[in-house]
Amino acid sequence: MIQIAIVGAGPSGCYLAQALLKAVPGAHIDILDRLPVPFGLVRYGVAPDHQGTKAVARQFARLFEKQGVGFIGNVTLGQEGEGGTLSLSELQSAYDVVVLALGLPKDRALPLPGAALPGVIGAGQLTRHWNDHPDDSASLPDLGRRVVIVGQGNVAIDVLRILAKRAEHFDGSDLAHRHSDHIAAAGIESIDILGRSPAHEAKFDPVMVKELAKLPHMGFAFEGLAHSGAASQDDARLEALANLPAAADHDIRVTFHFGATPTRLTGTDRVSAAQFDCDGAELSLPCDTVVSAIGFETHVPGLRDDLLAGAEDAALGVLRPGLYAAGWFARGPRGTIPENRQAAQALAARIAQDLGTLPKTSKTGAAALAARLSGLTDYAGWQRIDAAELAACDAGRVRAKVADLTDMLTLAAGRAQDHPETET
């Protein structure tokens, strides 16, 4: 039987497994993840108040529950010889095909003087904190009243919306009450959101901006709209912005700045101002919190860079026959979750084609991993975590996530039936 391993249980890995089930019938597919829970970006990257987007996890669950795909959690891909990790060469010795769908979980750093000041935080780290990712759940971000967001993509709009929402707006989400209480305690009064592009070329989806208009305590102002003077009046982004309520006597004032290039952050004990270049004029915004939302990069730069540099077809995700890359790990941080589906189908077709040229082997897949590593978890372990989170759910929330990795592993192993305490 052909053994296929997909490293990364997020949307790109799950869509690829769906496609491979059709393209390579009879193969056994395992999806590996360093955490004992599947679904990656859906669980930890999508905003907690966007449960409709997170619902795609129910579709992915069928892979493990009805279609025979294996889930192997608590396995980390690392360097050769590191204890507790699995090297790429070891993984390839166990599987005929290996696909890296590791995502890009690290915030791209602001390349500015002052970017290391307290009060500056990456949007990805903030989103993972709100989603109770075990890497980022413990340290509460130090939020102030005047927030500057650098970047105008959908992640930036997610951050803006969650910072601006009131506690009652999170009913039906999986945002823990400790997070909504913390946001409310910050007493946010103003949010400035800035990007280099003109409004009609901004990276946000117009639907994301339209959602902001539903929050009546927010008023909006705009700077730099003149950069879009020649754009069509039918432009969806301009239309969405035009329909936002103007800033008046609102609790929170939001200002969109277009054509603004960040130049430096200043402060002593923490950030106190953000400077931008606007057509040669300096704009200085007093602030106590800066959220950087300018993209993501890999947490294993050497591995990704080396593999892509020597790729046979980087655009498709073919590193070499038998070794492939998918999703953001292959293409970079662009595209929506559903867009991974089409890319997965193209890559699965290529893998099926390549299999005809690979030498016949008798690799043992998961059995080889079990012999090499201890503490691996499975889908049944995730279901025990899932059950505990649903059982511990507070009023107004759809689940109470376990935020500590040790607690997760305890639940996955069936050693505890109750939801462990969540540390803050």
3-state secondary structure 299-341: CCHHHHHHHHHCCCECCCCEEECCEEECCHHHHCCCCCCCHHH
The number of beta carbons lying within 10 Å of the beta carbon of residue 60 is: 23
Per-residue pLDDT, 424 = 38
Average pLDDT over residues 222-237: 83
Regarding the domain delimited by 111-295, which CATH topology (the fold level of the hierarchy) does it fall under? FAD/NAD(P)-binding domain (3.50.50)
The most confident of the ranges 230-239, 337-346, 413-422 is 337-346
- Range with the lowest mean pLDDT among 106-115, 172-181, 411-420? 411-420
- Range with the lowest mean pLDDT among 61-65, 196-200, 304-308, 397-401? 304-308
Asked whether the predicted pLDDT for residue 233 surpasses 80, the reply is: no
Average pLDDT over residues 339-365: 91
- Range with the lowest mean pLDDT among 45-49, 146-150, 359-363, 398-402? 359-363
Better-scored residue on pLDDT, 419 or 395: 395
In the annotated binding site for FAD, the residues are: 12, 41, 77, 328, 335-337
pLDDT tens-place string over residues 300-323 = 767 888 899 999 999 999 999 899
Computed over every residue of the chain, the mean pLDDT equals 92
**For residues 192 and 224, is the Cβ–Cβ distance under 8 A?**
no
Per-residue pLDDT, 208 = 95
Asked whether the predicted pLDDT for residue 417 surpasses 70, the reply is: no
Q: pTM here? A: 0.92
Asked whether the predicted pLDDT for residue 220 surpasses 90, the reply is: yes
Asked whether the predicted pLDDT for residue 416 surpasses 70, the reply is: no
Are 3-105+298-413 and 111-295 the same fold in CATH? no
Per-residue pLDDT, 423 = 41
Q: Domain locations in the chain?
A: 3-105+298-413, 111-295
Q: Tokens for 191, please give them.
A: 């949010």
Better-scored residue on pLDDT, 361 or 238: 238
Per-residue pLDDT, 421 = 46
Average pLDDT over residues 381-394: 96
Per-residue pLDDT, 85 = 83
Asked whether the predicted pLDDT for residue 420 surpasses 60, the reply is: no
Selected from 3.40.50.970, 3.90.870.40, 3.40.50.150, 3.40.50.720, the CATH number assigned to the domain covering 3-105+298-413 reads: 3.40.50.720
Average pLDDT over residues 251-272: 96
- Range with the lowest mean pLDDT among 14-18, 83-87, 369-373? 83-87
Per-residue confidence band for 419, with pLDDT thresholds at 50, 70 and 90 = low
In the annotated binding site, the residues are: 12, 41, 77, 152-155, 328, 335-337
What 3 state SS string does the chain have?
Answer: CCEEEEECCCHHHHHHHHHHHHHCCCCEEEEECCCCCCCHHHHHCCCCCCHHHHCHHHHHHHHHHCCCCEEEECCEEECCCCCCEEEHHHHHHHCCEEEECCCCCEECCCCCCCCCCCCEEEHHHHHHHHCCCCCCCCCCCCCCCEEEEECCCHHHHHHHHHHHCCHHHHCCECCCHHHHHHHHHHCCCEEEEEECCCHHHCCCCHHHHHHHCCCCCEEEEEECHHHHCCCCCCCHHHHHHHCCCECCCCCEEEEEEECCEEEEEEECCCEEEEEEEECCEEEEEECCEEEECCCEECCCHHHHHHHHHCCCECCCCEEECCEEECCHHHHCCCCCCCHHHHHHHHHHHHHHHHHCCCCCCCCCCHHHHHHHCCCCECHHHHHHHHHHHHHCCCCCECCCCCCCHHHHHHHHCCCCCCCCCCCC
Task: Work out the widest C-alpha separation in the chain, in whole angstroms.
Answer: 72
Q: Are strands 28-32 and 3-7 parallel, antiparallel or unpaired?
A: parallel
Per-residue confidence band for 4, with pLDDT thresholds at 50, 70 and 90 = very high
- Range with the lowest mean pLDDT among 64-68, 139-143, 353-357? 139-143
In the annotated binding site for NADP(+), the residues are: 152-155, 335
Per-residue pLDDT, 358 = 82
pLDDT tens-place string over residues 128-150 = 999 999 998 877 788 999 999 99
Per-residue pLDDT, 422 = 45
